[in-house]
A and B are shown apart, each in its own frame.
Chain A
Amino acid sequence: MKKNNLLTTCAIVAMAIMSTAASAETLIVASPQVPEGFDGDALKAHTQNVVVQTYENLVVYGKKMVNGRMVNDPSTVEPHLAESWKISEDGKTWVFTLKKGIKSPFGNELTADDVEWSWSKSFAQKRTGNFIARVSNVVGVKALSKYDVEFTLSAPSSIFLKALTLYVPGIYDSTETKKHATGDDPWALKWMQSNTAGFGAYHLDSLKPDDQAVYVANKNYFGGAVYFDKVIYKEVPSEASRVTLLKTGQVHLIERPSIQKVVDLQDDSNVRVDRASGRSIASARMNPKCKPFDDVRVRQAFNYAVDKNALNDAVFAGQADIAKSVVPPIVDGYNPNHFKYDYNPAKAKALLAEAGFPNGITEPIELLYADAFWHQEPIAIQIADMLKKVGVAVQPTRITTSEMRAKGSPKEMSMCFFTWEDGPIVLDPVYTMYLISHSKGVSNRSAYSNPRVDELIDMSREELDADKRLAMMDEAQKLWVEDAPWILTTYPATFEAMNPKVTGWVHYPDEHERWRELTMN
């Protein structure tokens, strides 16, 4: 009797205690991880998601309406922090004039010195910002006057202007950052691990590692008032939990749910799922330095052996786009017409026989996958299964993501056959191919090398005539398809799941929404 009363009392007390309400004035984002750093040059977990909110660029892509929604138009570039720019005759000197009166949350005005300091920081760190500078041929940045800043290029670059829309090199309020520089740390990198000082719409207010980061709107923002005064970026490691929180209205936005969750969320009226064509390519890559991939016929055979529609249905619930080029569809210059590897197992077998494998390949080939992308494993399993049907034994093998990154790094490239996803964050065909298909490209990962493709890319990087450039990239795409260094599968679409009252989401090539554009009904 006593025990029953005790239990009942406990239950009642427990229920009385449990009750909370969530406010809807602030934007609440649930993410797998709180950002661990705010320096775009030294990316840590989820740094990229948040630096784009606090640091904004000299220029941005234009916008246009497509099928009733606003999208970024990669063929146009518009002023943002800069109001205008002039290019010299030889294309090697660009002078940007900054808009006047742009202020940071600290009250400091944007001047050319800030731009010079920021680029000097990237040059000094020799990390991602430096890479972008190299890709765009930038060798020097100098402040000419209070609002004029000069970029010096080693050669004309067709990528430069678009590269300025990237999250790095960021433009910092150097008046503030210099206060935190020390002898050992001239660029205030330590301070930047938990602080921000930009001219963007938001500013980091507080940071609790493993818990949440809170941002407040920049009261001096040059773009005017933004809807959300506060953004709480909450760490919720479990995806199932994040989905539950979204469905119950406890959070407004979750980033990039996996496809099973997407299908589930699409059916839920409490959630809106927005889709945009992705800019990256899921694929299985073959390293020509490994046997049997040194023979192009084997690589082509593998392409013929994979039924991409079936793969799309099995892995992506039919929601991805079939890939037909290493340049994704939202980049101009995309040409699917060179692609010829429709599903044809008979042809696959014939090619294998020609290459000296009339009875297929019985010695199992390892197909490596990791968990950097949710689809790596299912794609590996599908491909292994399809290749089995043409007599090729494949063994899907898991390794850690960090291992895969290391083994795919430019100086190692030791994996023979593996699944991965890559895509350009500058929506430019030259940038795309330079990143992925150039023998020195940092996202090559599989030691693909074709001297003619390299030559075309190198020439295009300096070719300012758009038509000539596109023609060269077209030829490069054709050669790439012939070489078949990858089993192209799909362009996974980007899905963002949010509360139906949140509007204004536009897809960006870096896959991160811009909070300043969001509003709530």
Chain B
Amino acid sequence: MNLTSFLIRRAFMVIPLLVGVVFFTFMLVRVGGLDPVGLLAGPTATAEEFTMIRAELGLDQPLWKQFLIYAGNVIQGDLGESWLSNRPVLDDIAARAVISLELLFWGVGIGTFVGVPIGLRAAFNPNGRFDQSARILSLFGFSIPTYWLGLVMLFVFFYLLRWAPPGMGRISLMISSPDFVTGSYFIDSLVAGDWKAAHSSLSHLILPVTCLAIVSAAPIIKQTRAIALEVLSSDAVRYARACGLKPKTVRKIVFRNSATPVLTFIGTEITGLVGTMSLIEYVFAWGGLGQYGLNAIVRGDFTAVQGYVLVLALFSVLVFLIVDIVVAMIEPRIELN
């Protein structure tokens, strides 16, 4: 099956999923007891003001009616307006998506780049010294709460050592941000040739990216090791060894055979890391989508929460799609279907 028909089939499968996501989020925020009216109305609001605001937000309509209106808008690409900022949710999310993607890309990228080789090497000498240290490292990454890790890193590298910049966003306060090209300050300043801004934005990236890399590397190490061990005891590898192939060639075979499950795992991990990323963004005042979503949830900004969850669902779908395509490209035995 070729790529186009695969994509079309995938799109059809995804539609019921998205409808379900929209429906459940919509109902959950309304039924869950969040009530933004009090927040919007302010400390001196009278009973009439409450009613007026409730009507403005459309909360006095029956639930099913509210849902139909919202769903109708979503199909046309209108995710509604945030009640607390009065800006269109789609604009808010679009502006922040790239900011979070930058962090995710570097963080998971480095986590993979570091984690996969470690996992592989650990599998080749199971229970050896390297393996033991790798397992301890991985356990460390698993058990540390992300929020705490971020704060400790700020404390050590900024407060104590002054090596890192303060956790105050993506670029130094005194440097004006580069003109918008991609939304990533680092890339945009490189494009504009603004070396000062590039330096500042890169330095601000280092701590949160390291934090995310540590947290994402841990499961990658563990899973890669497990997969590689399995592959090592498979028939293919036994046969290769029996044939007397060089250890280097055997390692290549293991690597090729582990690639698919490891990639699939990383795809799953990325979708799971979104929550962790919100905390990292919170600690470092990153201003990305995670921080936006957290704020919206806590303050009961329904439309923003709905938009945020929908975009996350879409993102997960996209990640899985890309993983499937890449796997099909590198694994000749699998066809896209």
- Which residues does A use to contact B, with CB under 8 Å? 14-15, 17-23, 28, 30, 33, 36-37, 42-45, 126-128, 131-132, 190, 193, 208-212, 232, 234-238, 240-241, 244-245, 247-248, 250-251, 399-406, 408-411, 435, 442-443
Which of A234, A238, A241, A244 sits near B173, CB closer than 8 Å? A234
Inter-chain CA distance A248–B163, complex, in Å, is 13
A sample of 8 cross-chain residue pairs with beta-carbon separation below 8 angstroms, ordered by A number, consists of A18-B157, A18-B203, A21-B172, A131-B49, A190-B86, A209-B92, A403-B38, A406-B50
Give the residues in chain B near A237, CB-CB below 8 Å: 282, 285, 291, 294-295
Q: Inter-chain contact count A-B, CB under 8 Å?
A: 181
Inter-chain CA distance A131–B172, complex, in Å, is 42
Q: Is B181 an interface residue (CB 8 A)?
A: no
What's the nearest-Cβ distance from chain B to residue A403, in Å? 5
Which of B36, B45, B154, B170 sits near A402, CB closer than 8 Å? B36
Q: Is B155 an interface residue (CB 8 A)?
A: yes
Inter-chain CA distance A127–B50, complex, in Å, is 10
- Chain B 206-248 interface 0/1 with A at a Cβ cutoff of 8 Å (1 = within): 1000000000000000000000000000000000000000000
Which of A211, A232, A406 sits near B287, CB closer than 8 Å? A211
A248 touches B166 (CB 8 A): yes
Inter-chain CA distance A262–B200, complex, in Å, is 32
In chain B, residues 110-166, which have Cβ atoms closer than 8 Å to a Cβ of chain A?
A: 151, 154-155, 157-159, 162-166
Give the residues in chain A near B36, CB-CB below 8 Å: 402
B45 touches A442 (CB 8 A): yes
What's the nearest-Cβ distance from chain B to residue A74, in Å? 19
Chain B, interface size category, equals 35 or more
Question: Which residue in chain B gives the minimum CB-CB distance to A435?
Answer: B44
Known: A18-B203, A237-B285, A402-B36. A45 touches B169 (CB 8 A): no
Which of A132, A190, A245, A399 sits near B166, CB closer than 8 Å? A245
B282 touches A238 (CB 8 A): yes
Which of B37, B38, B49 sits near A404, CB closer than 8 Å? B38
Question: Which residue in chain B gives the minimum CB-CB distance to A234?
Answer: B168
Inter-chain CA distance A438–B49, complex, in Å, is 18
A402 touches B203 (CB 8 A): no
Query: Which 7 pairs show the lowest CB-CB distances between chains A and B?
Result: A405-B38, A411-B47, A406-B35, A402-B300, A210-B287, A406-B38, A20-B165
Question: Which residue in chain B gives the minimum CB-CB distance to A193?
Answer: B86
Give the residues in chain B near A19, CB-CB below 8 Å: 163, 165, 203
What's the nearest-Cβ distance from chain B to residue A363, in Å? 24
- Chain B 36-69 interface 0/1 with A at a Cβ cutoff of 8 Å (1 = within): 1111111111111111100000000000000000
In chain B, residues 46-101, which have Cβ atoms closer than 8 Å to a Cβ of chain A?
A: 46-52, 84-87, 92, 95-96
Inter-chain CA distance A210–B278, complex, in Å, is 13
B163 touches A235 (CB 8 A): no
Give the residues in chain A near B173, CB-CB below 8 Å: 22-23, 28, 212, 232, 234
A443 touches B50 (CB 8 A): no
A241 touches B283 (CB 8 A): yes
- Could you say which of A126, A232, A241, A442 has the most chain B C-beta atoms within 10 Å of its C-beta? A241
- Which residues does B use to contact A, with CB under 8 Å? 33-52, 84-87, 92, 95-96, 151, 154-155, 157-159, 162-170, 172-174, 199-200, 202-203, 206, 282-285, 287, 291-292, 294-295, 298-300
B159 touches A400 (CB 8 A): no
Known: A20-B200, A248-B159. A411 touches B168 (CB 8 A): no
Give the residues in chain A near B45, CB-CB below 8 Å: 127-128, 131, 409-410, 442
B35 touches A234 (CB 8 A): no
Give the residues in chain A near B203, CB-CB below 8 Å: 17-20
What's the nearest-Cβ distance from chain A to residue B110, in Å? 10
B85 touches A411 (CB 8 A): no
Give the residues in chain B near A241, CB-CB below 8 Å: 151, 154, 166-168, 283-285
Give the residues in chain A near B33, CB-CB below 8 Å: 399-400, 403
Which of A36, A248, A443 sits near B43, CB closer than 8 Å? A443
What's the nearest-Cβ distance from chain B to residue A90, in Å? 28
B46 touches A131 (CB 8 A): yes
Inter-chain CA distance A14–B206, complex, in Å, is 8
Question: Which residue in chain B gives the minimum CB-CB distance to A214?
Answer: B173
A402 touches B47 (CB 8 A): no
Question: Which residue in chain A gives the minimum CB-CB distance to B205?
Answer: A17
Give the residues in chain B near A401, CB-CB below 8 Å: 38-39, 299
Inter-chain CA distance A461–B283, complex, in Å, is 48
Inter-chain CA distance A241–B172, complex, in Å, is 15
Give the residues in chain B near A33, CB-CB below 8 Å: 295
B163 touches A15 (CB 8 A): yes
- Could you say which of A14, A23, A37 has the most chain B C-beta atoms within 10 Å of its C-beta? A14
Give the residues in chain A near B299, CB-CB below 8 Å: 45, 401-402
Inter-chain CA distance A21–B42, complex, in Å, is 39
A411 touches B159 (CB 8 A): no
Give the residues in chain A near B87, CB-CB below 8 Å: 193, 209
A33-B295, A210-B287, A245-B167 known; 6 new pairs, CB 8 Å cut-off, are: A20-B172, A126-B48, A238-B151, A400-B298, A403-B33, A405-B39
B39 touches A402 (CB 8 A): yes
